[in-house]
Amino acid sequence: MTSEKKPILEIRGLRTQFFLQEGTVTALDGIDLTIYEGESLGMCGETGCGKSMTAFSILRLIPHPGRITAGSIRFKGIDLLGLSPDQMRGVRGRRISMIFQDPSTSLDPVFTIGQQLGEVISLHQNMYDKNALNARILNALKLVRIAAPESVMRQYPHELSGGMKQRVMIALALSCSPELLIADEPTTALDVTIQAQVLNLLKDLARKTGSSMMLITHNLGVVAETCNRVCIMYAGRIVEEAETFELFGKPMHPYTRGLLTAFPKLGEKKEELSVIRGTVPNLMNSFPGCSFVDRCDFATDQCKRVRPKMAEVAPGHLVACHLYPSGGGKDNA
Amino acid sequence: MNQTRINPRRRLNDALLGWKMRGGVRQIVAEIMERGNKNVMVVIGASIVVILIAIAVLAPILPIVDPTLQNGNALTKSPSFTHWFGTDTLGRDVFSRVVWGARISLFVGTVAILLSLLIGMTLGLVAGYFGGKIDYLISGVIDLFWTFPAFLLALAFAAVLGPSLTNVMLAISVSYWASFARLVRGQALTVRERLFVEASRALGANNWRIMFTHVLPNCLAPLIVWASIGVADAITIESSLSFLGVGTQPPAASWGYMLSSAKTFIEEAPWIAVFPGLAILAAILGFNLLGDGLRDVLDPRLKGLRR
């Protein structure tokens, strides 16, 4: 399946580190990731595991003490890490766009929706004709199914509801038809019914425009709903990667299995939800073994000493765990 | 690669767009229009200011005598129908001089504040937005200027530069820009952390665009308030400098200079001092009321409370 698709984004060995006074924090530790044309990839993991940092690294927007120290990011053959800041700005918004978690603060409160959309469109498309620009703005708003786009255009962000604002953000991100859309927890700040609407909208739009999507979330339900491939991240590394059905059906990594059992199922009676014991390790201390070793029920001596590498255990299903020797393809141990 | 090249016209447009700041200004004006007319202070302050500006602008076409005309037949006359505010020791019409004095006071106040606003705003914005070493450097300069009382600094500069209208404006700007810089820096520090700044960066905006189209419009409300109060301060400083003889030079009619030359006759001819004094009072009161009122109108925490 993967062989016939063209990769749009290839990340190899990406390492992002933060240099603080107290020491060096390795936020991303050797990420390998490929996004193919037209697919939507889910990035899953708990808070602080590096999901958002991956997105910021792709756009080269890592906050101050952080730096990309190793690896490469290739977007359609362009080496993003080699671009000048000016060239990088030309990529952001036009070819790779991003949607943020909280729509209520992602819009500038002093400009109308139309002005903000107009800014992005004129910035990237060199469009200065007012009528043409207005038509583009209206189209962008219609695309995200906003009723009465003419009046929304003239409204300020505080006059819109959360769901509307997130749609406007999506319109902003999609206004220049980017080839890759990164959505960083796009539904976390919305209530459940609106979440479903926004997710469907994203799915539809990605299909319609043929753009690829990277969906960052800690909600496995959202991934199951929206994505065709999933990466599970833990402590700055990708620990498992598979097609959505495959992953939910046959989770391999103990962490993934922990995540899935922690997720309550509808119609199931449970007094207590199962949890993964322990907490995420401190990313400041580096050690040779698997980062999940302290919380893993199957940890062996080898896990403490040697870091497991990603290995393909089934077609398209990669996992980094010593329980599955490379190419083993064993069922649950 | 070619697609990511930046065309020079776009860069020019970036810069121009930055200065337009249409949205921010338009929203603030709308807000003032909508809520300002329910605020008594704004209404009174704005009325005084508008009347003063009208008087200043219309001075040349108002049916009044030349403020420098010395009438030997009417020396030190008390207020009457021919000379509403009386005449001074040289027989000049005090009313006419107060009217022409408004021109000088408002002109000096406005230009000096605009100049210091421009300097302070730019430096404060750069300091607050970029932070780090740049902030350290600019903040140091701001603090240096803040160690001196604005009036003393202006007095020193005016004395060094020599008395003239232009030098008074320069002196006031030099002593006043630091307050604007500090105000904008503080605002920019908080605004730059807001998500929409990050969002517009993710959508491809560059630093200058973000600074002038997103950060600055979000700092505008306190700036407008401070500028209004600043004009009142500048008028005080101008009058004081003229009073001390390092400001506007005679025979031009300046309120401060009129006060100064009237002080020896205050017992015999109080009107020569009282009317320019009242004019200064009115101008400062007007701008301060306007500024205070605008602060209430533009304060987001008070928004909607009085609706």
Contacts of residue B10 in chain A, CB cutoff 8 Å?
Answer: 123, 126
**Does residue A120 lie within any of the structural domains?**
yes
Closest CA to B302 of B43, B47, B31: B31
**Does residue A221 lie within any of the structural domains?**
no
Predicted interface score ipTM higher than 0.90 = no
We report the CATH number of the domain holding residue B148 as 1.10.3720.10
**Does residue B51 lie within any of the structural domains?**
yes
> How many separate domains does chain A show?
1
Are the beta carbons of A41 and A227 closer than 8 angstroms? yes
Long-range contacts (CB closer than 8 Å, 24 or more residues apart) made by A60-68: A60/A88, A61/A92, A61/B198, A61/B201, A61/B202, A62/A16, A65/A18, A65/A19, A65/A20, A66/A16, A66/A17, A66/A18, A66/A19, A66/A27, A67/A16, A67/A17, A67/A18, A67/A19, A68/A14, A68/A15, A68/A16
Contacts of residue A105 in chain B, CB cutoff 8 Å?
Answer: 194-196
Contacts of residue A95 in chain B, CB cutoff 8 Å?
Answer: 3-4
CB contact under 8 A, B204 and A169: no
Cα-Cα-Cα-Cα torsion B183, B186, B187, B189, nearest 10 degrees, comes to: 150
Report the first-to-last Cα separation within chain A, whole angstroms: 27
Cβ of residue B2 closer than 8 Å to a chain A Cβ: no
When scoring A110, A117, A153 by the number of chain B Cβ atoms within 10 A, the one with the most, hence best to mutate, is A110
**Does residue B206 lie within any of the structural domains?**
yes
CB contact under 8 A, A100 and B195: yes
Contacts of residue A109 in chain B, CB cutoff 8 Å?
Answer: 196, 218
**Does residue A332 lie within any of the structural domains?**
no
CB contact under 8 A, A123 and B24: no
DSSP 8-class letter at B212: I
> How many separate domains does chain B show?
1
pLDDT at B183: 92
* Greatest CA separation for chain A: 68
**Does residue B119 lie within any of the structural domains?**
yes
Cβ of residue B38 closer than 8 Å to a chain A Cβ: no
**Does residue B72 lie within any of the structural domains?**
no
Cβ of residue B305 closer than 8 Å to a chain A Cβ: no
**Does residue B189 lie within any of the structural domains?**
yes
Structural domain that includes position A150:
105-177
Cβ of residue B204 closer than 8 Å to a chain A Cβ: yes
Cβ of residue B220 closer than 8 Å to a chain A Cβ: yes
Structural domain that includes position B237:
14-66+79-302
**Does residue B7 lie within any of the structural domains?**
no
B202 vs A178: CA distance, rounded Å: 12
**Does residue A252 lie within any of the structural domains?**
no
A300 vs B104: CA distance, rounded Å: 87
Q: What is the pLDDT along chain A (333 residues), one digit of tens a residue?
A: 444 678 899 999 999 999 888 888 888 888 899 999 888 999 988 887 888 899 999 999 888 888 899 999 999 888 999 899 888 988 888 899 998 888 888 888 888 898 888 888 888 887 778 888 888 899 889 888 888 888 998 888 888 888 888 889 888 888 888 899 999 888 887 888 888 888 888 888 888 888 899 999 888 888 888 898 999 998 888 999 999 989 988 888 988 888 888 777 777 776 777 777 777 777 777 778 888 888 888 888 888 888 888 888 888 899 988 888 754 444 433
**Does residue A137 lie within any of the structural domains?**
yes
Cα-Cα-Cα-Cα torsion B118, B119, B120, B124, nearest 10 degrees, comes to: 100
Cβ of residue B303 closer than 8 Å to a chain A Cβ: no
Q: Which residue of A93, A115, A126 is in closest CB contact with B204?
A: A93
Residue with tokens 């009161």: B285
**Does residue B62 lie within any of the structural domains?**
yes
Are the beta carbons of B218 and B191 closer than 8 angstroms? yes
The residues with which A234 forms a beta bridge, in sequence order, are: A237
Q: pLDDT (tens digit, 9 = 90+) per residue, B107-124?
A: 999 999 999 999 999 999
CB contact under 8 A, A78 and B4: yes
Are the beta carbons of A23 and A37 closer than 8 angstroms? no
Q: pLDDT (tens digit, 9 = 90+) per residue, A53-98?
A: 999 999 998 888 888 999 999 998 889 998 998 889 888 888 999 9
Cβ of residue B10 closer than 8 Å to a chain A Cβ: yes
